[in-house]
């Protein structure tokens, strides 16, 4: 296997399990969605080939393009604006908090039918929230002001931000579906703002933030797949570029490093019951730091490191706990990568025909996704399986309708 092909999946293999140490995993799993694969009871995982690195994406932008203002007759003094995306998000949080519980419930499901009058009223309230998200997405810096990642920081600052960012993502997706029904360019901007809040929440939030990014990306993926025919030309290109943003992998590495540092934080060490517990925490941190460097090593070196890790689990229960939720979390992250490639392939095929599938192959095989015509479009299927079922998406050649 090529060294760059295993890079992403080794990152998933260790990075995803570490979040089990914090006790927040159950909360996230209960709220996350996998939109493109039907819900099935847990069954043994059907093995799939190791997923290689997706086709290198085109040059990317780290933010949405700024809005273009109409020139005025006389030059206006330079505006003093915030450069921290988190400042805009906090203002959006306040506006969202002012909504009624019924309004929040409606915003939570963009696929549900809503009365026309209610849509008009809610769109007025949602507009300033989404505008702030667009402003945040145009910034190159997002500092949540958490300082060094600590266990106290998770409870007092991090966890509320994660939930609120998911609320904002659902709000922008609802806006794209209902308020931008006749404006594909604006709908695409709302989707890009959704993806951007996922990127931003993962930047300073260790593994838990990255898991929330996975959930937010799943929400955006679902909307794009169900509305792919709306996006043509420049709008399709904007979405494909975002779906292939390398920051998804970069956030893996940042999360691993933060997790390793947190294992040796003063709070973690002060909670140790003795020298033995402290030593186990040090060993956990050591393996997490080693993982970042072993990713670039040849396969033989990686396998040797994996054997040493598994042997260490026999005497270190914290390392065993690290791997206890591995398969499920690994599959979630793998599915996102497959979905991004599948969406890119589907959007391309809608515009240039079936031959366009080769541009974005199935990461699990390196070959084009399996293609099947439907009554009003086509279905793509990956060789990669989740809960015993292949990951699939349906694309319609006319806008409207669900998967």
- The DSSP line for 104-141 is HHHHT-TTS---HHHHHHHHHHHHHHHHHHHHHHT-SB
Q: Give me the mean pLDDT over the 2-12 stretch.
A: 42
For residue 371, report the phi and psi dihedrals to the nearest 5 degrees: -120, 135
For residue 43, report the phi and psi dihedrals to the nearest 5 degrees: -130, 160
pLDDT of residue 52: 40
Residue 274 DSSP code? S
Is residue 13 scored above 60 in pLDDT?
no
Is residue 222 scored above 80 in pLDDT?
yes
Enter the pTM of the model: 0.70
- Report yes or no on 389 lying in a domain: no
The arrangement of strands across the sheet holding 377-386 comes to 370-373, 377-386, 389-396
Q: Give me the mean pLDDT over the 268-281 stretch.
A: 62
pLDDT of residue 32: 44
Number of folded domains that form the chain: 1
Is residue 227 scored above 50 in pLDDT?
yes
Full domain range(s) for residue 326 = 1-36+82-369
Is residue 31 scored above 90 in pLDDT?
no
Average pLDDT across the chain, whole number: 74
Lowest mean pLDDT among 32-36, 105-109, 151-155, 227-231: 32-36
For residue 145, report the phi and psi dihedrals to the nearest 5 degrees: 70, 30
Residue 253 confidence class, pLDDT cut points 50, 70, 90: low
- Report yes or no on 210 lying in a domain: yes
**Strand 377-386 to 370-373 pairing:** antiparallel
Contact 403, 379 (CB under 8 A): no
Q: Name the strand (E) or helix (H) holding 379.
A: strand 377-386
Residue 84 DSSP code? B
pLDDT of residue 286: 79
- Report yes or no on 376 lying in a domain: no
Q: Name the strand (E) or helix (H) holding 372.
A: strand 370-373
pLDDT of residue 64: 30
Secondary structure (3-state) at 281: helix
Compute the residue count for the chain: 403
Contact 256, 291 (CB under 8 A): yes
Residue 104 confidence class, pLDDT cut points 50, 70, 90: very high
Tell me the per-residue pLDDT of 58-86, one tens digit each, with 9 for 90 and over.
333 323 333 333 344 444 444 444 589 99
Name the one residue in this structure whose structure tokens are 């006749």: 182
């Amino acid at each position: 296997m090529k060294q760059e092909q295993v890079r992403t999946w080794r990152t998933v293999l260790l990075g995803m399990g570490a979040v089990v140490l914090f006790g927040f995993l159950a909360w996230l799993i209960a709220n996350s969605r996998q939109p493109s694969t039907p819900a099935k009871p847990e069954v043994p995982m059907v093995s799939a080939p190791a997923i290689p690195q997706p086709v290198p994406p085109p040059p990317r932008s780290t933010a949405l393009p700024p809005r273009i203002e109409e020139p005025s007759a006389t030059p206006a003094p330079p505006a003093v604006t915030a450069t921290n995306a988190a400042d805009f998000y906090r203002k959006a949080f306040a506006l969202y908090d002012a909504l009624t519980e019924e309004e929040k419930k409606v915003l939570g499901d963009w696929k549900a039918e809503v009365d026309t009058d209610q849509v008009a009223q809610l769109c007025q309230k949602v507009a300033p929230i989404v505008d702030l998200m667009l402003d945040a997405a145009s910034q190159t810096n997002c500092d949540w002001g958490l300082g060094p990642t600590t266990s106290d920081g998770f409870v007092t600052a991090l966890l509320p931000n994660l939930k609120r960012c998911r609320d904002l993502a659902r709000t922008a997706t609802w806006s794209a579906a209902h308020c931008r029904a006749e404006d594909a360019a604006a709908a695409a901007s709302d989707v890009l703002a959704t993806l951007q809040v996922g990127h931003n929440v993962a930047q300073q939030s260790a593994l838990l933030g990255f898991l929330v990014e996975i959930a937010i990306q799943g929400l955006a993926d679902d909307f794009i797949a169900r509305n792919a025919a709306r996006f043509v030309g420049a709008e399709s290109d904007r979405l494909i570029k975002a779906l292939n943003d390398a920051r998804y992998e970069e956030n893996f590495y940042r999360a691993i490093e933060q997790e390793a540092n947190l294992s040796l934080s003063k709070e973690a060490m002060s909670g140790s019951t003795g020298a033995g517990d402290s030593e186990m925490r040090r060993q956990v941190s050591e393996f997490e730091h080693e993982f970042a460097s072993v990713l670039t090593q040849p396969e033989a070196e990686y396998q040797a490191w994996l054997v040493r890790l598994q042997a260490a689990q026999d005497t270190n229960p914290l390392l065993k706990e690290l791997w206890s939720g591995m398969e499920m979390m690994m599959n979630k992250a793998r599915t996102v990568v497959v979905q991004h490639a599948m969406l890119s392939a589907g959007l391309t095929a809608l515009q240039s025909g079936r031959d366009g599938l080769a541009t974005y192959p199935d990461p699990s095989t390196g070959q084009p996704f399996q293609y099947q015509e439907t009554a009003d479009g086509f279905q793509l299927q990956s060789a990669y399986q989740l809960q015993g079922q292949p990951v699939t998406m349906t694309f319609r050649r006319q806008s409207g309708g669900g998967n």
